[in-house]
Amino acid sequence: MTEEETRRKRQARFERLAHVVVEPLHRYLLRRAGADMAEDVLSETMLVLWRRIDDVPGPGAGSDPEPDANPDRSPSPDEVLPWCYGVARGCLANARRADGRRLRLVERLIRTQQRPPTGAADHSDHSDLHAALGALGALDREVVQLWAWEELAPRQIAEVTGLTSNAVSIRLHRAKRKLAAQLGRKDAERPGHKRDEGRSSQ
């Protein structure tokens, strides 16, 4: 079988599979998540099914020890849905983990803002930091907060934000320079204060 024939066979099998599973998977996700998340996770689930089409059980499965007499027939829901539900469950868990990271970031920011000052100097430092962060664009601010507070590496921040690792590194470098420029004047006003540059962004 040529490469083109293999591609067409995989495409046809995926289309037959999608015809059977899209609506049940959508209902499955809507029962467990909001409409927006369900749509996103359904798209991710179908992408995984396309990538792993040879692993999906049913007619035409690449790993089927007993090849179907008619590999071109449409699969029955009983043959494929349990496996596909497992994929959707994993994709939903991944989406919730990503949302959880964002929620923890917001909660930590709120706790930080509400924390009572322990002294005039600490309160001043806190206000300076939030003012400097507030001067950044929303995406740059999120990148910096994920790096500084959640201690994520650029490749992990890329997962959260949907950027590439290279784009995250560039944004992080530029944002830290902006923060340093804004906070540098305050540092210079505090005798004996030495700024900790923190972790490497690499």
User: pLDDT tens digits, the chain, 202 residues: what are they?
Assistant: 688 888 899 999 999 999 999 999 999 999 998 888 899 999 999 999 999 999 998 777 764 445 555 667 888 888 899 999 999 999 999 988 887 776 676 666 656 655 554 444 444 445 677 777 788 888 888 888 788 777 788 888 888 788 898 999 999 888 888 877 776 655 545 544 444 444 444 4
Residue 150: CB atoms within 10 A of its CB come to 15
Angle at 186 between CA 183 and CA 187, to 5 degrees: 85
> Following CA atoms 26, 84, 59, 10 in sequence, which dihedral angle do they give, to the nearest 10 degrees?
80
Q: What is the radius of gyration, based on Cα positions, of the chain?
A: 25
Looking at residue 189, its pLDDT comes to 54
This prediction has a pTM of: 0.50
Question: Which of 183, 102, 98 shows the shortest CA–CA distance to 145?
Answer: 102
pLDDT of residue 150: 72
For each of the domains in the chain, give its residue range(s) and CATH number, in order of start. 3-99 (1.10.1740), 116-188 (1.10.10.10)
> Beta-carbon neighbour count of residue 131 at 10 Å?
12
- Burial label for 88, CB within 10 Å (0-12, 13-18, 19+), is buried
Place of tokens 């179908």: 46
- pLDDT score for 15: 95
- pLDDT score, position 13: 93
| Among candidate residues 184, 171, 123, the one with its CA nearest the CA of residue 143 | 171
CB atoms within 10 A of CB 172: 20
pLDDT in the model for residue 120: 42
The pair phi, psi for residue 56, each rounded to 5°, is -70, 130
Within 10 angstroms of residue 75's Cβ, the number of other Cβ atoms is 22
pLDDT at 91: 93
For 15-30, b where at least 16 C-beta lie within 10 A, e where not — what string?
A: ebbeebbeeebbebbe
DSSP-based three-state secondary structure for 176: helix
